Structure 1
Amino acid sequence: MGLRRSERRHRQTSQEPRERYDTTAAVELRGVRRAYGRGGSAVHALRGIDLSLPRGSFTAVMGPSGSGKSTFLQCAAGLDLPTEGSVRLGGTEITAMNENELTELRRSRLGFVFQAFNLLPSLTVEQNVLLPMQLAGGRCAHEGRTRAAELLARVGLEGKGGRRPAELSGGQQQRVAIARALVTRPDVVFADEPTGALDTTTAAEVLALLRDAVDALHATVVMVTHDPAAAAHADQVLFLADGLIADRLPRSSTAAVAARMATLTTGRTPAFAAAGAAG
């Protein structure tokens, strides 16, 4: 399906001059398109994304069902290859990487927070937090455990490193996941509906932790969400529609985000693709 990796590599590395890239960006997409299938039956999930996100920023991505949010996250995080275009993370071009290189990059330079927490039940809380560091090649045991203890304290779980995930509430498990995502000091943390399985109060606490990671630890967070209250914690909200960036808002209230989302969902206002897609 789609282009072979060698074909993609040639197109992606030849069509974008190096000087066009923003060396200060944590995430940069240029001309990113993703199609599934071929010919008239092809599904165009992304139709041309141009975007630059600065280091130390918090970006929320919203959009109606089928707008391309999940595909955007997968391509930006190196979990899927675009059909056309280029992606850079922390200044590194990733679209020409092979699978081994992408795996190494994800382990050492990216963090992930998922709706389902994705903790390993057989490991302790501390071991779950340390897992990305160990997979990335590890550091000395003392340094790793010190880092894990600092992060667990920061997310409100001091002294709980010896517990198993099943002994924790859902909100506590997501706190562990946030500590795990930050342990390698990644270039970018990608969060996919991180509050989708949480009640409103717990969700607000988790979002405050992501906000704190940006403000205090200078992390870069890119979060896909359907929740305007979650998006209101971000520095900016990107709205996708039909595989394009249709609009964007600077940090706004929950009501303002919800109102803008409603215009895309109901189609009461035209897409702002030309203005919103500028990087």
Structure 2
Amino acid sequence: MARETALGAAAVELAGVRRQYGRGAGAVHALRGIDLRLPYGSFTAVMGPSGSGKSTFLQCAAGLDRPTAGSVRLGGTEITGLGENRLTELRRSRLGFVFQAFNLLPSLTVEQNVLLPLRLAGKRPDRHRAAEVLTQVGLGDKGGRRPAELSGGQQQRVAIARALVTRPDVIFGDEPTGALDTTTAAEVLALLRGAVDGLGATVVMVTHDPVAAACADRVLFLADGALADTLPRSTPDRIAARMTDLTARTRVGAAA
């Protein structure tokens, strides 16, 4: 929070963000004017029915896709008009990503996978920093292993360490627990929660799981490309009930 006050900017800001695919009668309006401000040191979950715009929201917020209209700021930097090279540089140095598929390179060791963002950003590989983040995720003794030698949960821990290594402004998660069993998912969520509470990280996570969303400070619900509802930190049951209600209303609207 101190970082936000000092910079006068939130970690993520979207203003009037729209994303349209195609034109004319066949156009798909994936996002219909998103206005949002997420502070530093916060954990936000994004939920919604299938086709609600969750993935497009994440891609536009993270600079992986360009909105048709509106603006996106990351750490106070307007990214909407940046050239591709500058945008790539920003993603590598200031953003972290954790996906459902772990996206580890099988030919590299755990340590080398963690250091990859630093190499891609043109920075000196810092083995001390790699050891530090691996210790934070409970894998301090696994730096020399290959991904294939680790369990799925351990591989996702490596992915989290890789996301943390550059001390990013924001960590974006796309269904980070989707491929994990319940126990392992809980461990991974605890790591993300710990990164927010203990390291001051900012996490934005798309999920379909109310249990995962219950770890966040706030849940945003999307429907038909628009922000339909928000819920402060709550229980899985309450989040699930809100999702059920939203899905029902979306179906009624589509039928009408």
Q: Distance in 2 between matches of 1:25 and 1:244?
A: 21
Q: Distance in 2 between matches of 1:186 and 1:154?
A: 16
| Alignment partner, residue 204 of structure 1 | 186
Superposition TM-score, scaled by structure 2 size: 0.94
| Alignment partner, residue 145 of structure 2 | 163
SS of 1:31 mapped into structure 2: strand
In structure 1, runs of 5+ residues without a counterpart are 1-21, 272-279
Q: Distance in 2 between matches of 1:268 and 1:95?
A: 30
| Alignment partner, residue 93 of structure 2 | 108
What is the Cα deviation at residue 38 of structure 1? Answer: 0.6
State the identity as a percent.
80
What is the Cα deviation at residue 91 of structure 1? Answer: 0.6
Q: Distance in 2 between matches of 1:77 and 1:84?
A: 15
1:26 aligns with 2:44: no
Contact 1:263 1:269 in 2 (8 A): no
In structure 2, runs of 5+ residues without a counterpart are 1-6
| Alignment partner, residue 227 of structure 1 | 209
| Alignment partner, residue 123 of structure 1 | 108
Q: Distance in 1 between matches of 2:204 and 2:17?
A: 17
1:181 aligns with 2:163: yes
| Alignment partner, residue 3 of structure 2 | none
SS of 1:117 mapped into structure 2: coil
SS of 2:11 mapped into structure 1: strand
SS of 2:81 mapped into structure 1: coil
Residue identity in the other structure for 2:26? S
> Residues 1-279 of structure 1 correspond to what in structure 2 (within 5 A)?
23-139=8-124, 141=125, 144-267=126-249
What is the Cα deviation at residue 267 of structure 1? Answer: 1.4
Superposition TM-score, scaled by structure 1 size: 0.87
Aligned residues: 247
What is the Cα deviation at residue 60 of structure 1? Answer: 0.2
SS of 2:168 mapped into structure 1: coil
SS of 1:25 mapped into structure 2: coil
CA distances 1:166-224 after superposition (whole Å, capped 9, x unpaired): 00000000000000001000000000000000000000000000000000010000000
Residue identity in the other structure for 1:130? L
What is the Cα deviation at residue 40 of structure 1? Answer: 1.3
Q: Distance in 2 between matches of 1:268 and 1:114?
A: 27
CA distances 1:49-102 after superposition (whole Å, capped 9, x unpaired): 000000010000000000000000000000000000000001100000011111
Residue identity in the other structure for 2:172? F
What is the Cα deviation at residue 266 of structure 1? Answer: 1.2
What is the Cα deviation at residue 261 of structure 1? Answer: 0.6
Q: Which moved more, 1:262-271 or 1:24-33?
A: 262-271
Q: Distance in 2 between matches of 1:74 and 1:26?
A: 15
SS of 1:206 mapped into structure 2: helix
Q: Distance in 2 between matches of 1:270 and 1:181?
A: 40
Could you say if the C-alpha distance between residues 89 and 265 of structure 1 is closer, same or farther in structure 2, counting changes exceeding 3 Å? same
RMSD: 1.5
